[in-house]
């Protein structure tokens, strides 16, 4: 009996010590303010820098099966981290590269509480992908074995969508130098199909196929029509999504798949260009989906909506501006009405991402175009670079900002589409 009482006392003391240790860890881990300030939305200049890095790393421009070397500046890597952080709901992030080490910092608010999680990770060079050297959460040091375990769990969870397994196979070496990193990788003959296949896991590809098939049947029923108002396909697709949803999490997956199917059709390229196993999907019907009786507005709206439902609005907005700047230089010209279509689609996709069940219920009840798409007939379009620069000065200039503010005013006046 004495032994039992002795063990009981020590068990209670151990439990108290564990609870105190947990409480102390929580006190050290959370903080009352972020260590990083929120970053501004992705700009056209940021996208130019990211595109320059992607062009240098593009495996199609080099030999297959032979090592390639790519240098990435600290700023380019920081832009990529900022995009990934926004995608993951992180308020702010920062990346620094020094000799042999890369430091990543991030701040995220605790849901429903005025508290913050401030994370710092230190990565070091390894034989392939970088290794975790250490880190801390707030003022709480994180042991290296714990960080490695957490990193492995994240890789196991997200490798199907992010392509980490493919990256591990391709990358031979990463070196951290002063304010830049060096990447050595080998592109194999089957790498392209593996990379494309990693964009969405097979389950999500099959979910998107359901909406693709229903969309094509709906377009087939409108035989003889070259174009169909986009809002006419929202109702049957949303009704289907609701019937397949049991909670907010499943509604989010269905809403995303719905927008992916619509964006695939609007792009005109078909699912097989994105998903290697989509060769047996039904062929796309020739009818196109439009807004304001224009095919290009439907493309801008639906592709921006799909981007925003996945990545958030700022990236979709910046991509729209970047495309129009490129058109001003060597394409059809800069068009503010295309920017308005991009912004309307971006807000529509953000709404689907933030409140998917409400979004689906609204579409299932039926909507009209005027609820989602602003009046754009009077906005300037087809401006080539010289005219665009002389009249509006470029992004950031007063005349340009005035036009963008007018677009935002029209978007805010819409009955629907605002997240």
The structure's pTM equals: 0.62
d(CA 132, CA 153): 14
d(CA 341, CA 344): 5
Q: Any idea what DSSP says for residue 13?
A: H
Residue 255 has, within 13 A of its CA and on its CB side, a CA count of 29
| Helices vs. strands in the chain: H and E counts, helices first | 15, 11
pLDDT in tens, the chain (419 residues): 555 454 556 667 777 776 776 776 677 778 888 888 877 766 666 767 776 776 676 665 666 677 888 888 898 888 878 877 776 667 788 999 999 999 999 998 888 888 888 989 999 997 778 888 889 988 888 888 888 877 776 555 544 444 556 666 677 888 999 999 988 877 766 565 555 555 567 778 889 999 999 999 999 887 767 788 999 999 999 999 999 999 999 999 999 999 989 988 988 877 876 676 778 899 888 888 999 999 889 999 998 898 888 754 444 444 444 554 555 455 667 889 998 999 999 899 999 999 999 999 999 999 999 999 999 999 988 888 888 888 988 777 899 899 999 999 999 999 985 55
């Amino acid at each position: 009996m004495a032994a039992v009482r002795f063990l009981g006392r020590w068990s209670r003391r151990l439990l108290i010590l564990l609870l105190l240790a947990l409480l102390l860890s929580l006190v050290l881990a959370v903080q009352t303010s972020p260590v990083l300030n929120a970053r501004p939305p992705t700009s056209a200049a940021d996208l130019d820098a990211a595109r320059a890095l992607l062009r240098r790393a593009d495996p199609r421009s080099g030999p297959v099966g032979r090592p390639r070397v790519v240098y990435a500046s600290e700023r380019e890597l920081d832009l990529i981290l900022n995009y990934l952080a926004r995608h993951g709901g992180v308020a702010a992030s920062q990346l620094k590269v020094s000799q042999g080490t890369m430091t990543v910092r991030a701040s995220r608010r605790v849901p429903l509480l005025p508290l913050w999680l401030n994370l710092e990770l230190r990565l070091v060079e390894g034989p392939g992908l970088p290794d975790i050297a250490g880190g801390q959460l707030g003022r709480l040091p994180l042991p290296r074995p714990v960080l490695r375990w957490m990193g492995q769990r994240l890789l196991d969870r997200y490798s199907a969508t992010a392509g980490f397994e493919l990256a591990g196979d391709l990358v031979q070496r990463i070196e951290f130098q002063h304010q830049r990193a060096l990447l050595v990788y080998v592109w194999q003959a089957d790498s392209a199909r593996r990379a494309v296949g990693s964009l969405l896991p097979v389950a999500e590809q099959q979910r998107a196929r359901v909406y693709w098939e229903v969309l094509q049947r709906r377009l087939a029923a409108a035989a003889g029509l070259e174009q169909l108002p986009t809002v006419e396909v929202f109702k049957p697709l949303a009704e289907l999504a609701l019937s397949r949803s049991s909670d907010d999490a499943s509604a989010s997956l269905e809403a995303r798949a719905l927008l992916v199917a619509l964006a695939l059709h609007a792009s005109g390229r078909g699912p097989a260009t994105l998903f290697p196993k989509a060769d047996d999907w039904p062929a796309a019907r020739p009818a196109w989906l439009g807004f304001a009786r224009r095919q290009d507005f439907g493309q801008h709206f639906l592709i921006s909506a799909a981007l925003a439902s996945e990545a958030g609005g700022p990236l979709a907005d910046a991509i729209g501006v970047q495309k129009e700047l490129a058109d001003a230089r060597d394409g059809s010209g800069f068009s503010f009405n295309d920017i308005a279509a991009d912004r309307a689609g971006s807000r529509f996709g953000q709404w689907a991402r933030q409140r998917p069940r409400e979004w689906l219920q609204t579409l299932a009840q039926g909507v009209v175009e005027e609820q989602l798409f602003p009046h754009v007939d009077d906005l300037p379009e087809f401006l080539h670079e010289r005219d665009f620069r002389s009249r509006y000065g470029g992004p950031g200039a007063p005349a340009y900002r005035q036009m963008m503010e007018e677009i935002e005013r029209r978007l805010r006046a819409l009955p629907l589409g605002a997240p």
